[in-house]
Structure 1
Amino acid sequence: MNLGPFDPRPTAKYALGKASPFVAAAGLVVDEVSGTRVVGHIELSEDHHTPWGVVHGGVYTAAVESAASIGASEAVKDRGEFAVGVHNGTDFLRASKGGRVDVVAEPLQQGRIQQLWLVTITATDSGKAIARGQVRLQNVPLPT
Protein backbone atom coordinates (compact mmCIF):
# COMPACT_ATOMS: atom_id res chain seq x y z
CA MET A 1 0.00 0.00 0.00
CA ASN A 2 1.41 3.41 -1.02
CA LEU A 3 0.53 6.15 1.47
CA GLY A 4 2.45 8.87 -0.36
CA PRO A 5 5.39 11.04 0.62
CA PHE A 6 4.23 11.51 4.22
CA ASP A 7 3.95 7.78 4.91
CA PRO A 8 4.25 7.63 8.73
CA ARG A 9 5.25 3.96 8.93
CA PRO A 10 8.58 3.38 10.73
CA THR A 11 10.49 2.75 7.49
CA ALA A 12 9.19 5.86 5.69
CA LYS A 13 11.28 8.92 4.89
CA TYR A 14 9.73 12.38 4.87
CA ALA A 15 10.27 13.37 1.27
CA LEU A 16 8.90 16.90 1.12
CA GLY A 17 10.31 17.32 -2.39
CA LYS A 18 7.87 14.64 -3.52
CA ALA A 19 4.94 16.34 -1.80
CA SER A 20 2.15 18.18 -3.57
CA PRO A 21 3.27 21.18 -5.63
CA PHE A 22 1.71 23.45 -3.00
CA VAL A 23 3.69 21.98 -0.09
CA ALA A 24 6.87 21.78 -2.18
CA ALA A 25 6.52 25.45 -3.22
CA ALA A 26 6.56 26.54 0.43
CA GLY A 27 10.16 25.29 0.43
CA LEU A 28 10.43 23.69 3.87
CA VAL A 29 13.61 21.63 4.17
CA VAL A 30 13.46 19.23 7.13
CA ASP A 31 16.82 18.89 8.86
CA GLU A 32 15.84 16.88 11.96
CA VAL A 33 12.78 14.80 12.84
CA SER A 34 11.70 13.13 16.05
CA GLY A 35 8.42 12.68 17.86
CA THR A 36 9.34 15.59 20.14
CA ARG A 37 11.08 18.02 17.79
CA VAL A 38 11.23 18.98 14.14
CA VAL A 39 13.90 21.36 12.86
CA GLY A 40 14.01 22.75 9.36
CA HIS A 41 14.59 25.85 7.29
CA ILE A 42 13.26 27.74 4.28
CA GLU A 43 15.22 29.87 1.82
CA LEU A 44 12.67 32.61 1.18
CA SER A 45 12.85 34.39 -2.17
CA GLU A 46 10.76 36.48 -4.54
CA ASP A 47 8.91 33.25 -5.41
CA HIS A 48 7.29 33.54 -1.96
CA HIS A 49 6.32 37.23 -2.28
CA THR A 50 2.98 38.97 -2.38
CA PRO A 51 2.48 41.63 -5.08
CA TRP A 52 3.80 44.13 -2.47
CA GLY A 53 7.22 42.51 -2.20
CA VAL A 54 7.00 40.74 1.16
CA VAL A 55 6.72 37.04 1.96
CA HIS A 56 3.13 35.75 1.81
CA GLY A 57 1.77 34.64 5.19
CA GLY A 58 0.52 31.42 3.63
CA VAL A 59 4.13 30.28 3.29
CA TYR A 60 4.51 30.49 7.06
CA THR A 61 1.14 28.85 7.69
CA ALA A 62 2.05 25.94 5.39
CA ALA A 63 5.44 25.54 7.10
CA VAL A 64 3.82 25.57 10.55
CA GLU A 65 1.26 22.93 9.54
CA SER A 66 3.87 20.76 7.81
CA ALA A 67 6.40 20.82 10.65
CA ALA A 68 3.78 20.09 13.32
CA SER A 69 2.19 17.31 11.26
CA ILE A 70 5.52 15.63 10.61
CA GLY A 71 6.53 15.66 14.28
CA ALA A 72 3.13 14.60 15.54
CA SER A 73 2.98 11.75 13.01
CA GLU A 74 6.45 10.63 14.00
CA ALA A 75 5.29 10.51 17.63
CA VAL A 76 2.46 8.05 16.93
CA LYS A 77 3.79 6.01 14.00
CA ASP A 78 4.66 3.00 16.19
CA ARG A 79 0.98 2.79 17.18
CA GLY A 80 -0.05 2.51 13.51
CA GLU A 81 -1.32 6.10 13.46
CA PHE A 82 -0.55 9.45 11.91
CA ALA A 83 -1.64 12.96 12.85
CA VAL A 84 -3.82 15.40 10.93
CA GLY A 85 -4.20 19.08 11.71
CA VAL A 86 -7.61 20.15 13.00
CA HIS A 87 -6.70 23.75 13.89
CA ASN A 88 -3.83 25.99 12.83
CA GLY A 89 -3.41 29.41 14.40
CA THR A 90 -0.41 31.15 12.85
CA ASP A 91 0.58 34.67 13.89
CA PHE A 92 2.66 36.81 11.53
CA LEU A 93 4.95 38.89 13.72
CA ARG A 94 7.00 40.89 11.21
CA ALA A 95 7.27 41.30 7.47
CA SER A 96 10.16 39.75 5.59
CA LYS A 97 11.49 40.28 2.09
CA GLY A 98 13.33 36.96 2.09
CA GLY A 99 16.43 35.16 3.29
CA ARG A 100 16.80 32.04 5.34
CA VAL A 101 14.41 31.32 8.20
CA ASP A 102 14.65 28.53 10.75
CA VAL A 103 11.60 26.45 11.64
CA VAL A 104 11.38 24.64 15.00
CA ALA A 105 8.36 22.60 16.10
CA GLU A 106 7.90 21.12 19.57
CA PRO A 107 4.91 19.58 21.32
CA LEU A 108 3.12 21.39 24.11
CA GLN A 109 0.94 18.33 24.81
CA GLN A 110 0.90 14.82 23.38
CA GLY A 111 -2.16 12.80 24.28
CA ARG A 112 -3.65 9.53 23.16
CA ILE A 113 -6.17 11.24 20.86
CA GLN A 114 -4.80 14.73 20.21
CA GLN A 115 -1.55 16.66 20.23
CA LEU A 116 -0.75 20.37 20.44
CA TRP A 117 2.44 21.67 18.81
CA LEU A 118 4.11 25.08 18.88
CA VAL A 119 6.12 26.11 15.82
CA THR A 120 8.44 29.11 15.70
CA ILE A 121 9.90 30.66 12.56
CA THR A 122 12.89 32.95 13.07
CA ALA A 123 15.17 34.87 10.71
CA THR A 124 18.51 33.08 10.66
CA ASP A 125 20.56 36.27 10.30
CA SER A 126 18.93 38.30 13.10
CA GLY A 127 17.34 35.64 15.31
CA LYS A 128 14.13 37.69 15.30
CA ALA A 129 10.80 35.89 15.34
CA ILE A 130 8.98 36.19 12.01
CA ALA A 131 5.97 33.98 12.75
CA ARG A 132 4.71 31.49 15.31
CA GLY A 133 1.94 28.99 15.12
CA GLN A 134 0.09 26.53 17.28
CA VAL A 135 -1.40 23.43 15.66
CA ARG A 136 -3.88 21.03 17.25
CA LEU A 137 -3.71 17.60 15.63
CA GLN A 138 -5.85 14.48 15.80
CA ASN A 139 -4.15 11.07 15.96
CA VAL A 140 -5.89 8.76 13.48
CA PRO A 141 -5.32 5.17 12.32
CA LEU A 142 -3.36 4.56 9.15
CA PRO A 143 -5.62 3.69 6.20
CA THR A 144 -6.00 -0.03 5.60
Structure 2
Amino acid sequence: MDFTYDDQPTAFVAVVRERVALDALAAFYDRAYRAVLEEVAAAGLAVTGPAFGWYRDMPTDSVDLAAGFWVDADSVSSLGGGVEVVELPGGPAVVGTHVGSYDGLSGAWAELRTWMSDHPAQMRGDFLEVYVTDPSEAADPSQNETRLVLPIVP
Protein backbone atom coordinates (compact mmCIF):
# COMPACT_ATOMS: atom_id res chain seq x y z
CA MET A 1 0.00 0.00 0.00
CA ASP A 2 1.24 3.50 -0.80
CA PHE A 3 1.02 6.33 1.72
CA THR A 4 1.32 10.05 1.05
CA TYR A 5 1.17 13.30 2.94
CA ASP A 6 -1.98 15.25 2.17
CA ASP A 7 -3.68 18.35 3.54
CA GLN A 8 -7.23 17.52 4.65
CA PRO A 9 -9.90 20.25 4.51
CA THR A 10 -11.89 21.26 7.57
CA ALA A 11 -15.48 20.12 7.05
CA PHE A 12 -18.83 19.77 8.75
CA VAL A 13 -19.96 16.23 9.43
CA ALA A 14 -23.08 14.71 10.95
CA VAL A 15 -22.24 11.99 13.46
CA VAL A 16 -23.31 9.84 16.34
CA ARG A 17 -20.50 9.73 18.90
CA GLU A 18 -20.15 7.17 21.68
CA ARG A 19 -17.56 5.12 23.54
CA VAL A 20 -17.94 1.71 21.89
CA ALA A 21 -16.62 -1.70 22.91
CA LEU A 22 -14.52 -3.18 20.10
CA ASP A 23 -16.78 -6.22 19.87
CA ALA A 24 -19.80 -3.91 19.31
CA LEU A 25 -18.38 -1.85 16.42
CA ALA A 26 -20.51 -3.36 13.63
CA ALA A 27 -23.76 -2.85 15.55
CA PHE A 28 -22.76 0.72 16.43
CA TYR A 29 -21.93 1.58 12.83
CA ASP A 30 -25.26 0.18 11.57
CA ARG A 31 -27.24 2.12 14.18
CA ALA A 32 -25.23 5.34 13.80
CA TYR A 33 -25.42 5.49 10.00
CA ARG A 34 -29.16 4.84 10.03
CA ALA A 35 -29.74 7.58 12.64
CA VAL A 36 -27.51 10.10 10.83
CA LEU A 37 -29.21 9.55 7.47
CA GLU A 38 -32.69 9.93 9.03
CA GLU A 39 -31.83 13.10 10.97
CA VAL A 40 -29.91 14.72 8.10
CA ALA A 41 -32.90 14.21 5.79
CA ALA A 42 -35.33 15.51 8.44
CA ALA A 43 -33.18 18.64 8.85
CA GLY A 44 -33.18 19.29 5.10
CA LEU A 45 -29.43 18.78 4.81
CA ALA A 46 -27.67 16.75 2.14
CA VAL A 47 -24.97 14.13 2.50
CA THR A 48 -21.91 15.30 0.53
CA GLY A 49 -19.42 12.49 1.15
CA PRO A 50 -19.02 8.83 1.99
CA ALA A 51 -19.54 7.15 5.33
CA PHE A 52 -16.66 7.29 7.79
CA GLY A 53 -15.56 6.32 11.26
CA TRP A 54 -13.65 8.98 13.22
CA TYR A 55 -11.68 7.29 15.98
CA ARG A 56 -11.13 10.00 18.58
CA ASP A 57 -8.58 8.03 20.62
CA MET A 58 -6.51 4.89 20.25
CA PRO A 59 -8.57 1.72 20.72
CA THR A 60 -8.02 -0.47 23.73
CA ASP A 61 -11.01 -2.59 24.72
CA SER A 62 -13.22 0.35 23.66
CA VAL A 63 -12.88 3.50 21.58
CA ASP A 64 -14.35 7.01 21.44
CA LEU A 65 -15.92 6.77 17.98
CA ALA A 66 -17.95 9.14 15.82
CA ALA A 67 -19.63 7.62 12.75
CA GLY A 68 -21.44 9.51 10.06
CA PHE A 69 -21.22 11.44 6.79
CA TRP A 70 -19.97 14.75 5.41
CA VAL A 71 -22.91 17.15 5.09
CA ASP A 72 -23.67 20.54 3.52
CA ALA A 73 -24.07 22.29 6.90
CA ASP A 74 -22.35 25.57 7.70
CA SER A 75 -22.42 25.45 11.50
CA VAL A 76 -22.35 23.12 14.50
CA SER A 77 -25.78 21.95 15.70
CA SER A 78 -27.77 19.13 17.29
CA LEU A 79 -30.20 17.42 14.95
CA GLY A 80 -31.94 15.07 17.39
CA GLY A 81 -31.76 11.34 17.85
CA GLY A 82 -28.23 11.66 19.22
CA VAL A 83 -27.00 13.11 15.92
CA GLU A 84 -24.81 16.20 15.92
CA VAL A 85 -23.23 18.31 13.22
CA VAL A 86 -19.63 18.94 14.27
CA GLU A 87 -16.52 20.33 12.67
CA LEU A 88 -13.99 17.76 11.52
CA PRO A 89 -10.65 19.57 11.76
CA GLY A 90 -8.49 19.59 8.68
CA GLY A 91 -4.75 19.79 8.39
CA PRO A 92 -1.83 17.60 7.40
CA ALA A 93 -2.32 13.85 7.38
CA VAL A 94 -0.83 10.63 6.13
CA VAL A 95 -3.29 8.98 3.75
CA GLY A 96 -3.44 5.53 2.17
CA THR A 97 -6.08 3.37 0.51
CA HIS A 98 -6.89 -0.20 1.49
CA VAL A 99 -8.67 -2.30 -1.13
CA GLY A 100 -10.19 -5.43 0.33
CA SER A 101 -12.55 -6.65 2.98
CA TYR A 102 -12.84 -4.85 6.30
CA ASP A 103 -11.13 -7.83 7.92
CA GLY A 104 -7.88 -6.55 6.37
CA LEU A 105 -8.05 -3.08 7.92
CA SER A 106 -5.98 -3.96 10.98
CA GLY A 107 -3.19 -5.15 8.67
CA ALA A 108 -3.46 -1.94 6.62
CA TRP A 109 -3.11 0.16 9.78
CA ALA A 110 -0.09 -1.95 10.76
CA GLU A 111 1.45 -1.11 7.36
CA LEU A 112 0.82 2.57 8.01
CA ARG A 113 2.49 2.35 11.44
CA THR A 114 5.52 0.70 9.82
CA TRP A 115 5.62 3.44 7.17
CA MET A 116 5.44 6.07 9.92
CA SER A 117 8.52 4.60 11.61
CA ASP A 118 10.54 5.58 8.51
CA HIS A 119 8.76 8.94 8.06
CA PRO A 120 8.73 10.57 11.48
CA ALA A 121 5.74 12.73 12.30
CA GLN A 122 3.74 13.31 15.45
CA MET A 123 0.19 11.95 15.35
CA ARG A 124 -2.60 14.33 16.32
CA GLY A 125 -4.27 11.54 18.35
CA ASP A 126 -7.25 10.68 16.17
CA PHE A 127 -7.69 8.85 12.86
CA LEU A 128 -10.34 8.15 10.23
CA GLU A 129 -11.51 5.30 8.09
CA VAL A 130 -13.40 6.65 5.07
CA TYR A 131 -15.54 3.94 3.48
CA VAL A 132 -15.30 5.01 -0.16
CA THR A 133 -17.17 1.94 -1.38
CA ASP A 134 -20.68 1.56 0.00
CA PRO A 135 -20.63 -2.04 1.29
CA SER A 136 -24.35 -2.45 0.59
CA GLU A 137 -23.59 -1.84 -3.11
CA ALA A 138 -20.40 -3.91 -3.35
CA ALA A 139 -20.94 -7.23 -5.08
CA ASP A 140 -17.52 -8.42 -3.93
CA PRO A 141 -16.23 -7.36 -0.45
CA SER A 142 -12.67 -7.91 -1.66
CA GLN A 143 -13.15 -4.78 -3.80
CA ASN A 144 -14.17 -2.49 -0.89
CA GLU A 145 -12.12 0.71 -0.88
CA THR A 146 -11.30 2.29 2.49
CA ARG A 147 -9.20 5.43 2.83
CA LEU A 148 -7.02 5.53 5.95
CA VAL A 149 -6.42 9.07 7.24
CA LEU A 150 -3.94 9.66 10.06
CA PRO A 151 -3.85 13.38 11.02
CA ILE A 152 -0.42 14.61 12.05
CA VAL A 153 0.82 17.69 13.88
CA PRO A 154 2.25 20.30 11.48
**TM-score, normalised by the number of residues in structure 1:** 0.30
- Which has the higher relative contact order, 1 or 2, with Cα contacts under 8 A spaced 6 or more apart? 2
**TM-score, normalised by the number of residues in structure 2:** 0.28
